[in-house]
Amino acid sequence: MTTNYRYPLMQPEDNTPARIEGSSAITSPAKIQSAEACSMEALCAAMNRSFSDYAVPMHLTTEAFTFMMRQRGLDRAASRIALVDGEIAALWLVSVRGAAGYLISSGTDPTHRRRGLSRALAAECLSAFKRAGAANLQTEVLIDNKQAHDLYLSLGMTTARVLDCYALSRPEGPAGQHEVSEVSWHAVAQAVQPLQDFRPSWQNDAESLNAIADDVRCHAVFDGAGVAGYAAIVPSTGTLAQIAVRQDKRRMGIAGALLGSYRDVESLRVINADNASDGFRDFMASLGAERTLGQYELKMSL
């Protein structure tokens, strides 16, 4: 399905035509279409261009981009791109899991901004979500990205949570204090949800880790009641995806021992920890973790 939009979609305040940088065209049509036929190389290049001037510039290799999309569950049929003169000028990359929809990433090439492409893509994607049976949509946006945040709010999304991010060094846990075992993610995935104080964000939840299970390193401490604590890291991205300790086993050094057991990992990032969890914030502080730029989690019903 392709929708043609006369370009530019939004005129400057003086009503003079907006010119596309690097092009002599003034009113080139923008074609909104599914990303189904796009290669991962083309989508990666377009995403890198879109994030090239952000506070956190993106320079993903195609391999890293493909991994990111596999983890988050890219649905190319439901995703939308805007083509201008045959090139991807903007994109909305999304995932659909049953009734749940997720905006993985959206962006517009700096030379094509302020012309309404993102809003046009949003309208097409929301329709695609509904046709796919999704009943709700969620995403995250950097706290300092006011423009994107305002766009999502104008579409009807609301801020559901504040999510903290951290950078930390691997602690040196006391040797032998706890017996830490390396296990597969699948071995503990069904048992660990009751240990969690907050729901993991989309990229860190069980389904996302299931999608990259062979690339997840999971360590756990067991006792007579089962899993006393566990940690799951994604080495290729340097992230700590999940960590939790059973309520009756907390403040016994288990979490520190779990992180310390990753002997070949010097540093990790924690992305999207619920700001409302005092216990997790205290844990990060005890490790000397540095808080980095956080995100808002946004949601809407479709």
* Cα-based angle 136, 139, 286 (whole degrees, multiple of 5): 125
pLDDT computed for residue 209 by the predictor:
98
pLDDT score of 25 more than 60: no
Sign of the Cα pseudo-torsion (192, 196, 199, 201, in order): negative
- CB count within 10 Å of CB 170 equals 19
Q: Are 86 and 68 in contact (CB under 8 A)?
A: no
pLDDT computed for residue 177 by the predictor:
82
Compute the average pLDDT of residues 255-277.
94
Compute the average pLDDT of residues 143-167.
95
- What tens digit of pLDDT does each residue of 100-151 get? 999 999 999 999 998 899 999 999 999 989 888 899 999 999 999 998 999 9
Q: Which of residues 83 and 17 earns the better pLDDT score? A: 83
Burial class (CB in 10 A: 0-12, 13-18, 19+), 232: buried
pLDDT score of 22 more than 60: no
Q: How would residue 11 be classed by pLDDT, with cut points 50, 70 and 90?
A: very low
CA–CA separation, 146 vs 296, rounded Å? Answer: 11
Query: SS3 for 34?
Result: strand
Q: Which of residues 115 and 203 earns the better pLDDT score? A: 203
Compute the average pLDDT of residues 275-294.
95
pLDDT score of 176 more than 90: no
Map out the domains of the chain with their CATH numbers: 2-134 (3.40.630.30), 165-296 (3.40.630.30)
